[in-house]
């Protein structure tokens, strides 16, 4: 009897925040739903007047861009669900579709940024669309290496899942930026980082330490975001000259 009692005491317990607990099991799946919710919240007031029933009509490429990025959010939920239901082989099989989709998104991200900057400048006559290129281009510069490293380290789940989480969060500035207050006060990147910090909180609760992915990626991301805001808001002469030539 005593040995059974000692064995039971030695067996790890699954708490809410410990290993095997709810946070450990369901964090990334929950985050995938949160990310989808943020996207819906951010775009629900703008997608109709700015795309579906836009006047003048937006470039056709914008539809492909929106479809690809929406597909990524759905794909992230799908892949998180497969992992949560222990369908790892299926998860890995569809991972190559995700790699192709991510590559397509990066190309679309760079191209549509220029297309829309030209559209806003020449058709809508909106100023500053050239220097705004630092935001979407910077997002792609951040998204691409996160996904590329996640693919490279696909057999290292502790690195893989965090890199994909960060890479997906990077795209949320477009949703947060649809809120006028967040955009006008340059707070959309703070919101992105706040979502990523939930991953840091998860590590502290479950592992009692912060994974190296966050310790490296988050500071680098903040530096990139600072540069993006500086180029957009301050618009130094060299950047303005470069982007105006690209757009014009």
Average pLDDT over residues 58-72: 95
Residue 217 has a pLDDT of 97
Query: What is the mean pLDDT of the segment spanning 6-11?
Result: 44
The angle at the Cα of 174, spanning 199 to 242, to the nearest 5 degrees, equals 115
* pLDDT for the residue numbered 191: 97
231 phi, psi to nearest 5 deg: -65, -35
d(CA 164, CA 79): 11
The answer on pLDDT for 197 being more than 50 is: yes
What integer is the mean pLDDT of 73-97? 92
pLDDT tens profile 186-196: 999 999 999 99
Sign of the Cα torsion 124, 125, 130, 134 reads: negative
CA end-to-end span of the chain: 82
pLDDT band at residue 163 under the 50/70/90 scheme: very high
Asked whether residue 3 carries a pLDDT value surpassing 90, the answer given is no
- What are the φ and ψ backbone dihedral angles of 84, each rounded to 5 degrees? -65, -30
Q: What is the pLDDT of residues 112-159, one digit of tens each?
A: 999 999 999 999 988 889 999 999 999 999 999 999 999 999 999 999
Contact assessment for residue 207 and residue 21, using Cβ atoms and an 8 Å cutoff: no
Domain extent listing, the chain: 22-44+57-247
* Least confident stretch, 5-14, 63-72, 193-202: 5-14
The count of other CB atoms within 10 Å of the CB of residue 226 is 12
Q: Which two tokens stand for residue 194?
A: 């706040």
Which of 199 and 3 is assigned the larger pLDDT?
Answer: 199
Q: What is the mean pLDDT of residues 88-111?
A: 94
CA distance 148 to 24: 25
Q: What is the pTM of this model?
A: 0.90
């Amino acid at each position: 009897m005593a040995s059974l009692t000692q064995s039971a005491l030695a067996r790890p317990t699954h708490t809410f925040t410990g290993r095997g607990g709810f946070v450990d099991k369901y964090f990334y799946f929950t985050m995938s739903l949160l990310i989808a919710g943020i996207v819906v919240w951010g775009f629900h007031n703008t997608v109709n007047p700015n795309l579906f029933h836009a006047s003048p009509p937006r470039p056709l490429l914008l539809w492909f861009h929106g479809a690809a990025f929406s597909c990524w959010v759905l794909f992230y939920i799908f892949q998180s669900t497969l992992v949560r239901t222990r369908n790892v082989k299926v998860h890995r099989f569809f991972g190559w579709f995700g790699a192709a989709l991510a590559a397509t998104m990066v190309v679309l991200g760079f191209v549509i940024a220029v297309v829309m900057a030209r559209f806003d400048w020449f058709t809508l006559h909106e100023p500053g669309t050239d220097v705004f290129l630092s935001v979407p281009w910077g997002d792609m510069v951040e998204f691409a290496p996160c996904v590329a490293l996640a693919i490279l380290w696909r057999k290292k789940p502790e690195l893989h899942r965090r890199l994909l989480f960060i890479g997906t969060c990077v795209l949320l500035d477009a949703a947060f930026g649809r809120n006028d207050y967040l955009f006008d006060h340059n707070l959309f990147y703070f919101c992105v980082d706040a979502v990523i910090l939930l991953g840091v909180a998860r590590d502290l609760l479950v592992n009692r330490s912060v994974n190296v992915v966050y310790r490296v990626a988050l500071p680098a991301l903040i530096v990139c975001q600072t540069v993006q805001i500086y180029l957009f808001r301050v618009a130094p002469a060299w950047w303005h000259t470069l982007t105006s030539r690209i757009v014009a």
